[in-house]
């Protein structure tokens, strides 16, 4: 359309030139030549205005075409923006789904971890029960063997081991407990004395027997430091030098806070000290079983005598 308008403008200019040349050659042939010149000037002005108008119209046409081009580009951009928004929405939705899936996996992991912890606790319990049953089995087997060997060698209710017989007072009465001295008197009455533990095998036997018949209870044994504080001597006058059988922190030889027990002052030349020893079962360490206690406390006791 632009080229058509240009051709029209060129044609108008050519016609104007031809007319002007003709006028120049024949202008003086007509009368009132001045009037003719004025008319030609007006015509020239009119043609110039027409040319300007045509130029403005062409410019508008060009602007309209550029607007159309711009509008098309804008539509394309809007379409692409719409696509991007759609893709962004899809991405957000996918992200939310991924977050939900991750959260579910985290919850599953937490549940699995809790189950593992529960199974670990159960396994530990089963392991402890198994070990306890194993200990009970060994103790029962030892008792069966001992009972078989005891027949004719030890008095009734006594337990035979190697060349000795042992009496655990708990088996006769679970409510009768005595002081250390009264416990020894009872053993002597039975033609025995408080037990002297002089070997690891005997230590293990005493610990396992306490565990099987009276777990958590304490029994007097024939060990004391009443003569010399800190020097532990068995009733057969053998000094105890083995330290591994004491519980952690023992012996501590604490002073008595009870002045009403002054009648027992003969138990120690230094005051009211824990001069006598008890033994008990220790689940954490079967070798650490001994504690020093006030001799006037009341516990069960263990007697020992030679077998027949």
Over residues 226-236, the mean pLDDT reads 94
**pLDDT value, residue 222:** 97
pLDDT at 255 over 80: no
**pLDDT value, residue 256:** 46
pLDDT at 262 over 90: no
Which of 145 and 271 is assigned the larger pLDDT? 145
**pLDDT value, residue 32:** 56
8 Å CB contact between 218 and 299: yes
Q: What percent of the chain has pLDDT over 90?
A: 39
**pLDDT value, residue 271:** 44
Which of 36 and 55 is assigned the larger pLDDT? 55
């Amino acid at each position: 359309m632009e080229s058509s308008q240009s051709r029209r403008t060129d044609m108008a200019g050519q016609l104007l030139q031809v007319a002007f040349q003709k006028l120049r050659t024949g202008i003086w042939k007509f009368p009132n030549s001045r009037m003719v010149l004025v008319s030609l000037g007006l015509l020239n002005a009119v043609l110039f205005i027409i040319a300007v108008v045509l130029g403005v119209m062409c410019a508008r046409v060009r602007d309209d075409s550029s607007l159309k081009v711009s509008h098309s580009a804008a539509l394309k951009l809007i379409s692409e923006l719409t696509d991007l928004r759609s893709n962004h929405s899809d991405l957000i939705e996918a992200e939310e789904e991924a977050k939900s899936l991750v959260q579910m996996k985290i919850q599953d992991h937490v549940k699995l971890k809790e189950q593992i912890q529960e199974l670990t606790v159960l396994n530990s319990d089963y392991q402890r029960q198994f070990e306890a049953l194993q200990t009970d089995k060994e103790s029962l087997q030892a008792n069966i063997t001992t009972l078989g060997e005891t027949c004719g060698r030890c008095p009734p209710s006594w337990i035979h081991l190697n060349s000795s017989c042992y009496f655990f007072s708990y088996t006769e009465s679970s409510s009768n407990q005595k002081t250390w001295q009264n416990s020894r008197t009872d053993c002597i009455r039975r033609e025995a004395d408080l037990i002297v533990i002089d070997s690891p095998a005997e230590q293990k036997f005493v610990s396992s027997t306490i565990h099987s018949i009276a777990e958590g209870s304490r029994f007097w044994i024939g060990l004391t430091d009443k003569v010399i504080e800190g020097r532990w001597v068995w009733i057969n006058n053998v000094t105890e030098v083995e330290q591994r059988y004491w519980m952690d922190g023992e012996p501590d030889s604490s002073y008595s806070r009870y002045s009403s027990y002054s009648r027992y002052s003969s138990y120690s030349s230094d005051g009211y000290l824990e001069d006598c020893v008890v033994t008990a079962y220790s689940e954490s360490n079967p070798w650490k079983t001994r504690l020093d206690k006030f001799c006037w406390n009341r516990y069960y006791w263990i007697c020992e005598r030679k077998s027949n």
